[in-house]
Amino acid sequence: MTEPAVRPDQSRSIPARTGDAVLPVRVRDALRDQQASSEILIGWIQFAVVGAFGTLYAISPKAFPAEVEFRPIPWVLGAYFAFTLARLGLAHARRLPRWFLGLSILVDMALLLGMIWSFHLQYMQPAAFYLKAPTLLYVFIFIALRTLRFEAVYVLLAGGAAALGWLFMAGYALMWDPMAAPVTRDYVLYLTSNAVLIGAEFDKIVSILTVTAILAVAIVRARRLLVRAVRESLAARELSRFFARDVADRIVDLDAGIEIGRGELRDAAVLNVDMRGFSQLATEIPPDDLIALLAEYQSTVVPVIQAHGGSIDKFLGDGVMATFGATRSSATPAADALRCLDDLSAAATAWSDRRQSAGLPAPAVGLAVASGPVVFGAVGDESRLEYTVIGTAVNLAAKLEKHTKVEAVRALTDAATYSAAGLQGYRPARPPERRPGRRVAGLDYELDLVVLAA
């Protein structure tokens, strides 16, 4: 099966793990981004470690005898400093191949164990002297560093290298050191002399391997959670493109599944926007031009709605229905909706003028707002759900938008909504025109209307 393509800037640096091959490309890319950030963090921690080693060496008394010409620690620290700088540069450039990551682990352990090995030269003691050095504890720092990448193989490599390295160090002290110290079972003698207690070295190796195994298991489990979190994060990002942001956040943050048949009563405002003559226009221009017109119109309308805190409930062909205070409770839904209507009216007029100046079809836009109690909740069945609002305000906004054609105006609202918006702090962009006692199609009563844009 052909491997899906990955982004060029990352495919060279951190290739996909075999176990990740079944993941969608975008999930693998997100994981690589996380791992690349982790490698930068690891590099800076290594830089801090070598800086700490260098500082400690610089300020500590030098115990090398004068006759010893070669002093390994400055050379080891210098080489590791250069290696760390190179690693940091590659990490920031996202060009760290996997073999280099493995090499970095081996260099870490070689640095640490090499420094510990040099102690018996520095202090002119048998090699068993370095077996008691507390510097060995830094091994666990270097192993723990590898957990930041969320790949168990690097934790196992670090722990395995440390255990094998210490096994070699203990073997050298026991068998190959010309001044080899005696082996003892006396714990007090072990602590107060250069004698070697084999059980103590065995405990150290077992501790390194046990910690490594525990961390590796933890990383395997954590990686599964990371993959799931990345999937859900990407899903939430995509949800926000299909749903209003408030609805997407609501779905993601639910403690349980979405419950059908449960609704919430909210005081909200509903805005309807519609292009004039779109159906006729659809029969007169090519399909590509029609879709381009619709996309341009929606890209003009949607940002204005969102800027005023509105949530897009649905796209109705050339129409847009938005709510204020339905998906998220608001103290000023009517005022927010009418402010949005004023800005939309201006934006739509400017959009039509631009198209007309360019010799393109320039349909007018009608707008209407109604407010009142609505029920917000999920409708549908288990196979297909939709969050929506239901109520008199929803129906009234749709009827008022159609009625703008009868009144020959661009923007309407009812007197009750206008009054509520005024109490919520709304001030109209221009003096409104009141039209009392109007008959609106679909209503069996007269309605007092307010014209916000003629």
pLDDT tens for residues 328-345? Answer: 888 999 999 999 999 999
pLDDT at residue 282, rounded to an integer: 82
pLDDT tens for residues 273-326? Answer: 998 888 888 888 888 888 888 888 888 998 999 899 888 888 877 888 899 988
pLDDT tens for residues 230-275? Answer: 777 766 666 555 555 665 555 555 544 555 566 678 889 999 999 8
Residue carrying structure tokens 């059908």 = 260
Backbone angles phi, psi at 378, to 5 degrees: -95, 135
Do 155 and 212 form a contact (C-beta atoms < 8 A)? yes
pLDDT at residue 380, rounded to an integer: 64
pLDDT at residue 288, rounded to an integer: 85
pLDDT at residue 24, rounded to an integer: 67
Pairwise CA distance, residues 113 & 118, whole Å: 9
Pairwise CA distance, residues 26 & 7, whole Å: 9
pLDDT tens for residues 187-204? Answer: 888 888 888 899 999 999
Tell me the two tokens of residue 108. 């870490």
| Bridge partners, 379 (sequence order) | 386
In this predicted structure, the answer to whether residue 377 has a pLDDT above a threshold of 80 is no
Amino acid at 435: R
Q: Give the H/E segment covering residue 449.
A: strand 446-453
Quick one: pLDDT band at residue 383, thresholds 50, 70, 90? low
Quick one: pLDDT band at residue 22, thresholds 50, 70, 90? low
Which residues lie closer than 8 Å to 70 by C-beta, 6 or more apart? none
CA 412 vs CA 129, 337, 363, 415: distances in Å: 90, 12, 18, 10
Backbone angles phi, psi at 438, to 5 degrees: -95, 145
Average pLDDT taken over every residue of the chain: 81
pLDDT at residue 12, rounded to an integer: 38
Do 320 and 270 form a contact (C-beta atoms < 8 A)? no
Quick one: pLDDT band at residue 9, thresholds 50, 70, 90? very low
Q: Give the H/E segment covering residue 282.
A: helix 278-282
Q: What pTM does this model have? A: 0.54
